[in-house]
Structure 1
Amino acid sequence: MLAFATAIFFLIITPGIGVLTTAGVGAGYGFLPGIRFLAGLFIGTNAVAVLVVTGIAAIVLANPVLGPVLLYGSVAYLLYLAFRIGWAGSKIAFVERQSAPGVVGGFLLQLINPKAYAVNTTFFSGFHFMADNQSMEIALKLLIINLIWIPVHLIWLWAGVSLKRLDLSDRTQSLINKGMALSMLIVVALAAFPG
């Protein structure tokens, strides 16, 4: 179980679509809108876990037509987000909108996040510690994942909100945007096109 918790920590804390957008929403809109977005990500993360555990994700993604359409549609949207981040100029934010993406935005983002499927598949297909009671193992894994997921994402939100308060130079803010965009591109490439 300790190996499982360690793997969760390192897979969740590394820059991925969820944590980067959480930081971006915090930087662009503040703490409370970030919490609403984070609530949507949380619901979406658990929905992806259920889709993986039940095998629905495998069935849909294995469909020769639907699987590639969903994969490339997700990748295209995430590339669009990376572009918007990288070219947001001196403002540290993901999209220039009047209102922050809320619960629905967070939920939908997580549903199309290739890293979420890859990570959940790793979590639930490996690290077996209760082979005699698979249902209990799944329940404990969900609990452990969420106990680590919540504080990690709150830290990323805090980091984004803190960036906004630092009053950084335009050049520094632009470099941070480009670094976040590059991180997103790397994560998308690794998650969508493994091996």
Structure 2
Amino acid sequence: MLAFALAVFLLIITPGPGVLSTAGVGAGFGYRAGTQYVIGLFLGTNLVALAVVSGLAALILADPRIRLLLFVVSFGYLAYLAFRIAFAGARLAFIEKARPPGIGGGILLQIVNPKAYAVNTAFFTGFAFLPANYMAEIGIKFLIMNAIWVPIHFLWLWAGVLLHRLEMSERAHRIINIGMASAMMGVVLLAIYFQL
């Protein structure tokens, strides 16, 4: 069980689209918008976990056409979200009215996030500690995963909000937003590269 908790901590705290976009939303839109986004991520990651545990994810991803479609949607949405984070607060007319991604955006990110599927598959197919009672093990894994997931995401949100609140020039704030968005896209591109 300790090995599982350590794996959860290490896999969740490392930069991926979820935590990087959390910091980016915090930096670009502030705490309230970031909290709504984290709630969506939380719901989304648990939906992905349920899809993995139930076998639905394996069934859906077994079809290469569906995998390709999800890949295109995933990349498109992550690029769109990175764009919104990069230009949050910019004075460009078509961006200025952009709204933060909210709960729905968080859910969508996790549903199309390749790291969410890989991590949840590792969590729920490995690290067996109650082989005699699989359902109890799954329940305990959900509790441990969420007990670690929530504070880590709020830590990343706090880091983003701290950047948002600093008295920085508009240029410096934009550079940070672009840097966070670029890091998020970099992680996505690495994931794509290693899946090919």
Q: Which bracket does the TM-score occupy, shorter chain normalised?
A: 0.7 to 0.9
Aligned twin of 1:22: 22
Structure number having the greater helix percentage: 2
Give a deviation string over 1:16-71, Cα, whole Å, max 9, x none. Answer: 11112212222222212221111111110100000011111111111121121111
Please report how far the alpha carbon of residue 80 of structure 1 lies from its aligned counterpart in structure 2 after TM superposition. Answer: 3.3
Contact 1:90 1:171 in 2 (8 A): no
Residue type of the partner of 1:19? Answer: V
Contact 2:23 2:161 in 1 (8 A): yes
Structure 2: segments with no counterpart, 5+ residues: none
Aligned twin of 1:180: 180
| 1:156 and 2:161 correspond | no
Q: Quick one: distance in 2 between partners of 1:116 and 1:96?
A: 30
Q: Quick one: distance in 1 between partners of 2:78 and 2:57?
A: 19
Please report how far the alpha carbon of residue 6 of structure 1 lies from its aligned counterpart in structure 2 after TM superposition. Answer: 0.9
Distance 1:64 1:45, change over 3 A: same
Q: Quick one: distance in 1 between partners of 2:164 and 2:86?
A: 16
Taking the TM superposition and a 5 Å limit, the aligned residue runs for 1:74-113 are 74-86=74-86, 96-113=96-113
How big is the alpha-carbon RMSD for the aligned residues of Structure 1 and Structure 2?
A: 2.2
Residue type of the partner of 2:109? Answer: L
Q: Quick one: distance in 1 between partners of 2:78 and 2:29?
A: 20
Residue type of the partner of 1:133? Answer: N
Count of paired positions: 192
TM-score normalised to the size of structure 1? 0.87
Contact 1:115 1:187 in 2 (8 A): no
Distance 1:87 1:40, change over 3 A: closer
Please report how far the alpha carbon of residue 3 of structure 1 lies from its aligned counterpart in structure 2 after TM superposition. Answer: 1.2
Deviates more, 1:26-35 or 1:115-124: 26-35
Aligned twin of 2:132: 132
Contact 2:164 2:173 in 1 (8 A): no
Give a deviation string over 1:115-146, Cα, whole Å, max 9, x none. Answer: 11111111111111111111111111111000
Contact 2:21 2:82 in 1 (8 A): no
Aligned twin of 1:46: 46
Q: Quick one: distance in 2 between partners of 1:96 and 1:160?
A: 19
The percentage of aligned residue pairs carrying the same residue is 56
Distance 1:97 1:49, change over 3 A: farther
Q: Quick one: distance in 2 between partners of 1:51 and 1:5?
A: 21
Please report how far the alpha carbon of residue 87 of structure 1 lies from its aligned counterpart in structure 2 after TM superposition. Answer: 5.6
